[in-house]
Amino acid sequence: MTAAELGLRRGVLLVVAAAALTAVLGGLVRAAIALPVAPGPHQVALHGPLFVVGVFGTVIALERAVALAARWAYLAPVAGAVAVGLLLAGWSSPAAAAALLSALALVAINVAIVRRQLASFTLLMLAGALLLAAANALWWRGAGVPTVAPAWMAFFVLTIVAERIELSRLAPTPRWASRLVLALGLAVATAAAFSLVSPSPATRLLGAGFLALALWELRFDLARRTVHMPGLPRYSAAGILAGAGWLAVGGWLLALGELPPAGPRYDAALHAVLVGFVLSMVFAHAPIILPAVAQIRLPFHPVLWWPLAILHGGLAVRLAGDLVGSGAWRRAGSLANALALVAFLLAASWARRTGGGRQPRRQPG
């Protein structure tokens, strides 16, 4: 890798960090938490797109571009970074256009990967990218975030489940289970595509699909084995299995009834998937992804358990608040979700400074 390429990757991650900071502050304002420093009303309104398109969409685009190892593929993360700049300026329509370009480039990357290797996981990633492109196109044409949010969630779910299927090939999986997960993934993609044109009952079917995929993960993911190993494997596996648990909760909430365009049930269904599943997966995989994508070393240290625990504990309080109608619990849980991100940054820099896990203590005598 050239120095310019590494600089580009790290530059994209810096832009993503700015988007994450603004998105978190915007989320707290939307959760009615008073802040000493708050972003402007445009950025607060764009909390969802900043996180979905700006942060995680761009990180996935970068990771896929690195996997393909072709120069043109960097169009996807670079267009994502441009979308972040436009979102931060509060220009949502040009930002949506840049996000669409990024998603189309991600589709092209996935087509190239499928042509290299035709497998269930490459096909599901392609399906996820197509959904992202369709959702971004609709958003650009003026559709509201609640209309496109189910398809955005499906993009994340398909991409992450595909990554897990790829890794879980290392564990013996019955042939019927491998076929089942492909069928479920394609059903989720179809329901998500329909949700863009006719939300009901497609979003409920999408929820049922998420629930089924979560149960598959909990039964067949490699994490079920690695959770018994000490250190990084156990930490990652815990994040993956807890994330799958939240995907089941989110799927169940979506399947229960029509998704309202705002309010507690909207908050609960969206964040069970986007915080409980997506953010937990990011915490779980960061020590593996950061060195591969940006040559940033992140050795495992037990302190990394703290942010994971704060994330999941906070989300449980937040959803309980959403479901029983307690604004105080909802605010406390939302604050804990934001603090989990801060705690992750602190834990990661501690792990880097100390060079990883604790040295085993000498036995006295």
Q: Which is nearer to ligand HEM, 99 or 123 (CB)?
A: 99
Rounded to an integer, what distance in angstroms lies between the CA atom of residue 131 and that of residue 186? Answer: 11
Site string for ligand HEM, 130-169 (x = CB under 6 A): ---------------xx--x--------------------
Note whether 99 binds ligand HEM by CB under 6 A: no
**Among 79-87, 159-167, 272-280, 357-365, which window interacts with ligand HEM (CB under 6 A)?**
272-280
Tokens at residue 213, please?
A: 């995929």
Select from 188, 272, 279, 343 the one that contacts ligand HEM (CB under 6 A).
279
Residue closer to ligand HEM by CB (options 232, 347) is 347
Q: Is position 239 an interface residue for ligand HEM (rule: CB under 6 A)?
A: no
Q: Least distance (Å) from ligand HEM to the CB of residue 253? A: 13
* Degrees to nearest 5, angle at CA 330 with 326 and 332: 115
| Distance in angstroms (rounded) separating the CA atoms of residues 160 and 155 | 9
Closest contact distance (angstroms) between CB of 108 and ligand HEM is 24
Half-sphere exposure of 340 (CA within 13 A, CB side): 23
Of the candidate spans 121-129, 208-216, 243-251, 270-278, the one that interacts with ligand HEM by CB under 6 A turns out to be 270-278
Q: Is 263 in the site for ligand HEM (CB under 6 A)?
A: yes
Using CA atoms, how far apart are residues 187 and 235, in angstroms rounded to an integer? 31
- For residue 164, the SS3 value is helix
Q: Which two tokens stand for residue 311?
A: 């994330």
CB-neighbour burial class of residue 320 (10 A; exposed 0-12, middle 13-18, buried 19+): middle
What x/- string results for residues 11 through 50 when contact with ligand HEM is judged by CB under 6 A?
-------------x--xx-xx---------------xx--
Closer Cβ to ligand HEM, 123 or 207, answer by number: 207
Neighbours of 266 (CB within 10 A): 16
Which CB sits closer to ligand HEM, 30 or 224?
30
Q: Which DSSP string corresponds to 116-174?
A: H---HHHHHHHHHHHHHHHHHHHHHTT--HHHHHHHHHHHHHHHHHHHHHHHHTTS---
The three-state (H, E, C) secondary structure of 336-360, written as one string: HHHHHHHHHHHHHHHHHHHCCCCCC
Report the candidate in 137, 127, 113, 183 with the shortest Cα–Cα distance to residue 158: 127
Q: Which of 86, 137, 275, 319 binds ligand HEM (CB under 6 A)?
A: 275
Q: Which two tokens stand for residue 203?
A: 């979003």
Q: Are 195 and 134 in contact (CB under 8 A)?
A: no
Q: State the nearest-atom distance from the C-beta of 27 to ligand HEM, in Å.
A: 3
* Burial class of residue 51 (count of CB atoms within 10 Å of its CB; 0-12, 13-18, 19+): buried
Q: CA angle at residue 107 from 102 to 113, to 5 degrees?
A: 125
Cβ proximity to ligand HEM, 25 vs 76, nearer residue: 25
Cβ 40 to ligand HEM, closest distance in Å?
15
Specify the residue, 191 or 270, whose C-beta has the smaller distance to ligand HEM.
270
Interface pick for ligand HEM out of 137, 188, 254, 274 (rule CB under 6 A): 274
Q: Which of 56, 121, 139, 235 binds ligand HEM (CB under 6 A)?
A: 56
Give the one residue of 266, 296, 316, 356 binding ligand HEM; rule: CB under 6 A: 266
In one letter, which amino acid is 70? A
- By CB under 6 A, name the binding residues for ligand HEM: 24, 27-28, 30-31, 47-48, 51-52, 56, 145-146, 149, 262-263, 266-267, 270-271, 274-275, 278-279, 334, 337-338, 341
